[in-house]
């Protein structure tokens, strides 16, 4: 017979979202287990750049979530081992012409009303911040709250610090429920884990987990590529990207989009992201995407034009039609909670998401209203389906 365990919650997913949920749930006094069909950070987390951004988010619920996460990541950087490589390096968003700079200025002004620090940088002052930046920029904005973390190490350390019992290499094949539909745990090929709450932190596969519980959640994969250069002396001081990256993040287009985000790492290689396209779970290497990224990075930093790229990797961002994650209890299925659909922002939003989940699990007052992130909300006005 499979082993049975009495727990307060089972978390499905050992990426950074699931690991953070385990960490914050344990801090709230809950006994939790984490289950994943693969290794820690084996999905989207392991394919991420580690962006902790407020600079790319317009005023609204996601920006509020990002600002909360920014504060929590600072706290976590003191609590977790230093090899999570937390770097409060700041982000620099640049505009190539005056109309783009004007739009960026209006965007930054609206963000300031929500507590974002955004400092306009004149064109003549950009070289002092980034000496190797192409001189053709019209200006930009510095976002000191932007930061960076090594995502796989962060997930591993959050999970270890949580003390959660972890079952890796075990796929959840069933969400256990009572005849009335209330969640009672999960089943894997090896065991049953009994708990009154199950947290769906399965990332791109969050829709499949929801379906196991009889709920509809229209999570879609959005493929993205990242280039990694040879180790270099320090060349890029901040996280630097062109202003059109913001539009790419908010776009609903299924076609290939790319806008270079360039940053150095403590180990020396420069990371160059990011592309976006909806191609299902197609893992085919896209020379077009890689060539476009390389060209855009060299346009921002001409010094990179002759640098060797030593590898490229890609992953799938868990995308919801209205560009907001699903966080909190699913009122259609008592005992089911969701923490997925963060697209490319999951690493940055992980601590705030986990804090909201922990509050929901303990019936405590959340830091932010949960309504905008309700898993059972109507997606029909954003190209999704209502239920």
Query: For residue 247, what pLDDT is reported?
Result: 57
Query: For residue 385, what pLDDT is reported?
Result: 45
Report the candidate in 81, 148, 67 with the shortest Cα–Cα distance to residue 113.
Answer: 67
Q: What b/e readout covers 272-292, taking b as 16+ CB neighbours within 10 angstroms?
A: bbbbbbbeeeeeeebeebbeb
- Is 328 found in the same domain as 212? yes
- Is 284 found in the same domain as 169? no
- Is 348 found in the same domain as 266? no
Query: For residue 367, what pLDDT is reported?
Result: 95
Asked if residue 312 is part of any domain, the answer here is: yes
Q: Quickly state the pLDDT bin for 383 (edges 50, 70, 90).
A: low
Asked if residue 62 is part of any domain, the answer here is: no
Secondary structure in 3-state letters for 188-208: CCCEEEECCCEEECCHHHHHH
As given in the structure block, the two tokens for residue 263 are: 């940053």
**Of 271, 302, 318, which marks where a domain is finished?**
318
CA distance 339 to 357: 7
Report the candidate in 52, 103, 88 with the shortest Cα–Cα distance to residue 242.
Answer: 103
CA distance 199 to 141: 38
Asked if residue 23 is part of any domain, the answer here is: yes
**pLDDT of 3 higher than 90:** no
- Is 227 found in the same domain as 137? yes
**Of 267, 297, 318, which marks where a domain is finished?**
318
Query: For residue 387, what pLDDT is reported?
Result: 38
Say which CATH number the domain at 98 has. 3.30.9.10
Report the candidate in 199, 228, 229, 230 with the shortest Cα–Cα distance to residue 213.
Answer: 199
Secondary structure in 3-state letters for the chain: CCECCECCEEEECCCHHHHHHHHHHHHCCCCEEEEECCCCCCCCHHHCCCEECCCCCCCCHHHHHHHHHHHHHHHHHHHCCHHHCCECCCEEEEECCHHHHHHHHHHHHHHHCCCCCCEEEEHHHHHHHCCCCCCCCCEEEEECCCEECCHHHHHHHHHHHHCCEEEECCCCCEEEECCCCCEEEEECCCEEEECCCEEECCHHHHHHHHHHCCCCCCCEEEEEEEEEECCCCCCCCCEEEECHHHHHHHCCCCCCEEEEEEEECCCCCEEEEEEEECECECCCCCHHHHHHHHHHHHHHCHHHHHCCEEEEEEEEEEECCCCCCEEEECCCCCCEEEEECCHHHHHHHHHHHHHHHHHHHCCCCCCCCCHHHCCCCCCHHHCCCCC
387 vs 277, more confident: 277
As given in the structure block, the two tokens for residue 314 are: 């890609």
Number of independent structural domains in the chain: 2
Asked if residue 195 is part of any domain, the answer here is: yes
CA distance 42 to 261: 23
Query: For residue 248, what pLDDT is reported?
Result: 52
Asked if residue 205 is part of any domain, the answer here is: yes
**pLDDT of 74 higher than 90:** yes
The sign one gets for the Cα dihedral 156, 162, 163, 167 is: negative
All residues at 6 or more sequence positions from 1 whose CB lies less than 8 Å from its CB, including other chains: none
Average pLDDT over residues 21-26: 98
Q: What is the pLDDT of residues 192-243, one digit of tens each?
A: 999 999 999 999 999 999 999 999 999 999 988 999 999 999 999 999 999 8
- Is 211 found in the same domain as 339? yes
Asked if residue 78 is part of any domain, the answer here is: no
- Is 195 found in the same domain as 175? yes
Asked if residue 349 is part of any domain, the answer here is: yes
Range of 13's domain?
A: 9-47+152-218+322-382
Q: What is the pLDDT of residues 341-379, one digit of tens each?
A: 999 899 999 999 999 999 999 999 999 999 999 999 998
Q: What is the pLDDT of residues 105-159, one digit of tens each?
A: 999 999 999 999 999 999 999 999 999 999 989 999 999 999 999 999 999 999 9
- Is 343 found in the same domain as 277? no
**Of 298, 318, 338, which marks where a domain is finished?**
318
Query: For residue 386, what pLDDT is reported?
Result: 37
Average pLDDT over residues 9-20: 98
- Is 285 found in the same domain as 188? no
Query: For residue 169, what pLDDT is reported?
Result: 98
Say which CATH number the domain at 190 has. 3.50.50.60
- Is 128 found in the same domain as 163? no
- Is 248 found in the same domain as 296? yes
Q: Quickly state the pLDDT bin for 25 (edges 50, 70, 90).
A: very high
- Is 228 found in the same domain as 211? no
Average pLDDT over residues 322-331: 96
Q: Are strands 257-264 and 270-276 parallel, antiparallel or unpaired?
A: antiparallel
292 in the Ramachandran plot: left (φ > 0), alpha (ψ -120 to 50) or beta?
alpha
**Mean pLDDT over all residues of the chain?**
92
Asked if residue 364 is part of any domain, the answer here is: yes
Using alpha carbons only, how large is the chain's radius of gyration in Å?
Answer: 21
Query: For residue 382, what pLDDT is reported?
Result: 56
CA distance 177 to 168: 23
- Is 294 found in the same domain as 239? yes
Average pLDDT over residues 301-318: 93
380 vs 157, more confident: 157
């Amino acid at each position: 017979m499979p082993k049975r365990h009495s727990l307060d919650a089972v978390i499905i997913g050992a990426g950074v979202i699931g690991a953070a949920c385990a960490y914050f749930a344990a801090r709230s006094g809950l006994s939790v287990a984490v289950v994943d069909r693969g290794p820690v950070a084996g999905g989207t987390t392991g394919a991420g750049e580690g962006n902790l951004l407020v600079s790319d988010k317009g005023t609204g619920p996601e920006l509020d979530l990002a600002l909360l996460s920014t504060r929590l990541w600072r706290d976590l950087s003191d609590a977790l081992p230093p090899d999570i490589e937390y770097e409060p390096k700041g982000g620099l968003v640049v505009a190539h012409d005056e109309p783009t700079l004007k739009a960026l200025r209006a965007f930054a002004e609206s963000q300031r009303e929500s507590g974002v620090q955004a400092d306009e940088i004149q064109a003549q002052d950009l070289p002092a911040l980034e000496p190797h930046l192409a001189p053709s920029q019209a200006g930009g904005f510095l976002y000191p709250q932007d930061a960076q973390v090594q995502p796989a190490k962060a997930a591993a350390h959050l999970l270890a610090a949580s003390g959660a019992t972890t079952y890796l290499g075990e796929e959840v094949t069933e969400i256990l429920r009572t005849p009335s539909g209330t969640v009672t745990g999960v089943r894997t090929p090896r065991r049953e884990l009994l708990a009154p709450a199950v947290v769906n932190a399965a990332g791109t596969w969050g829709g499949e987990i929801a379906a196991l519980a009889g709920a509809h959640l229209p999570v879609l994969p959005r493929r993205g590529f990242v280039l990694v250069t040879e180790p270099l002396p320090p060349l890029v001081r901040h996280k630097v990207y062109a202003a059109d990256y913001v539009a790419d993040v908010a776009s609903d287009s299924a076609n290939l989009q790319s806008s270079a985000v360039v940053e150095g790492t403590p180990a020396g290689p420069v990371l160059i992201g990011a592309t976006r396209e909806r191609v299902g779970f197609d893992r085919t290497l896209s020379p077009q995407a890689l060539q476009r990224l390389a060209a855009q990075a060299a346009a921002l930093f001409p010094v990179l034009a002759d640098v060797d790229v030593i590898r490229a990797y890609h992953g799938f961002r868990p995308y919801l039609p209205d560009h907001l994650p699903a966080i909190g209890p699913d009122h259609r299925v008592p005992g089911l909670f969701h923490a997925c659909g963060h697209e490319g922002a999951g690493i940055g939003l992980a601590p705030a998401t986990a804090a909201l989940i922990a509050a929901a699990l303990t019936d405590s007052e959340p830091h932010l209203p949960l309504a905008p992130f309700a898993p059972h909300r109507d997606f029909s006005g954003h190209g999704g389906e209502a239920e």
